[in-house]
Chains A and B, each alone.
Chain A
Amino acid sequence: MAAKKLMKGTAARMGVMKRVSLVFKAKANRALDKMEDPRETLDYSYQRQLELLTKVRRGVADVATSRKRVELQMNQLQQQANKLEDQARKALGMGREDLARAALERKASAQSQLNDLQAQYAQLQAEEEKLTVASQRLQSKVDAFRTRKETIKATYTAAEAQTRINEAFSGISEEMGDVGMAIQRAEDKTAQMQARAGAIDELMASGALDDAVGGSRRDDIQSELDMMSASSDVESELSRLKGEITSGAPKQLEGGANGNSQAAQAPQGQGTQYAPPPPAQTQPASIPASDRPAEPQDGEG
């Protein structure tokens, strides 16, 4: 009570440190005032200490869970970034700077999410450490309180006990207030991060970050790359066939050269089904390959 009055009367020139400590004291005093028999305070407070210990341990576990979730997302984003860089490299190798640029743009977006998550991860880790240390400190104080509680109960009458109880109680309740505040802050931070993690999950699901695993939009870069490697398969197939024809029938060389340039475009404009005259008879086998490009590419080496 005295503490409360003091706080109000002199707050203006007291400074932050003193005011904060008086707020802690006022809370402790109010809890003490409620007790009829001071010794009752000991048991009641001890129960609350044990509850708080449970709570702070649960808090540590909650923060750890959030941290693991962020870690999982970081791994997913890292895989995506790697995959996009791979795609960019392939696209450049095929002379498609536009595709490479598109892939790198998405990679940059994934990377910026990743950086954000890294910062969050560090914060959660720090929060987890702080709470762990806080829970150990509280445990030590609770143990000390329990010892003192037994001594007080055994040796003092209710009247005599008052001062000693007040001392023990003030010390522990300041710690409890502080730990309670630490839990509160950790919960707030965790909640914020869960909201952001949820947002990133949604972003990944939408394909905007080009989810490497199941995103729907990923195929535009990949399928163009696939199509291009298919078309280079067609090229090599063509030159192989041309080689056969050239050695067998030199006359058809002109027709073959003609078909060559058209065949190179055919897989890109898939609508153009009209077949160039003579060499086209061998082509239908290779055109569908552009739909399932990966296997022929591997097969042909």
Chain B
Amino acid sequence: MIVRISGEGQFSVDDAATAELNRLDSELEAAVNRNDEAAFTSALHGLLDQVRAQGSPLPADTLEESDLILPPQDASMDEVRSMLTEEGLIPG
């Protein structure tokens, strides 16, 4: 499975790590939904740390699409919200 950390690059992550990533992702989403910035930051950092620890970076010259994309390390909750819509942060 390929996971991109936005602004940082792509990682190849073993499928075995998926369950833990999903758990952290649910926390992240729950934090966004209840507007809890502190919980959001800690869930995001937990998620990114997990990807970095479990994954190995893909070479820069690969042209593979990611299965999952994560917000950048310093993203605010508002930024993540806008990444979830097509009108948001990602330029067309």
| Chain A residues with a Cβ under 8 A of chain B | 4, 11, 15-21, 23-27, 30-31, 130, 134, 136-137, 140-141, 143-145, 148, 167-168, 170-172, 174, 177-178, 180-182, 184-185
Contact = CB atoms under 8 A, between A and B. Distances in A.
B19 interface: no
Contacts of B7: 130, 134, 178, 181-182, 185
Interface of B: 3-4, 6-7, 9, 21-22, 25-26, 28-29, 32, 47, 59-72, 79-80, 83-86, 88-92
Contacts of A144: 61-63
B86 A140 contact: no
A21 B25 contact: no
Contact of A136 (B60, B63, B84, B89): B60
Given A16-B28, A17-B3, A141 B60 contact: yes
Given A21-B67, A137-B9, A137-B60, A15 B29 contact: yes
Contact of A20 (B9, B22, B64, B70): B70
22 contacts: A16-B29, A17-B70, A20-B68, A20-B71, A20-B83, A21-B66, A23-B88, A137-B9, A140-B60, A140-B61, A141-B63, A144-B63, A148-B63, A168-B63, A170-B65, A172-B63, A174-B4, A174-B65, A174-B66, A177-B90, A185-B7, A185-B72
* Nearest 9 A/B pairs, CB to CB: A171-B63, A180-B91, A140-B60, A17-B68, A15-B25, A21-B69, A144-B61, A140-B61, A20-B69
Contacts of A170: 65
Contact of A181 (B59, B60, B66, B91): B91
Nearest to A136: B60
A11 B86 CA distance: 13
Interface centre among A11, A19, A20, A23 (most CB of B within 10 A): A20
A23 B61 contact: no
A20 B84 contact: yes
Contact of B63 (A18, A24, A167): A167
A178 B61 CA distance: 15
Contacts of B89: 181, 184-185
A177 to B, nearest CB: 5
Interface centre among B22, B69, B79 (most CB of A within 10 A): B69
A26 B86 contact: yes
Given A140-B61, A141-B60, A171-B64, A19 B90 contact: no
Given A168-B63, A171-B64, A181-B89, A15 B28 contact: yes
Contact of B83 (A15, A23, A30, A182): A23
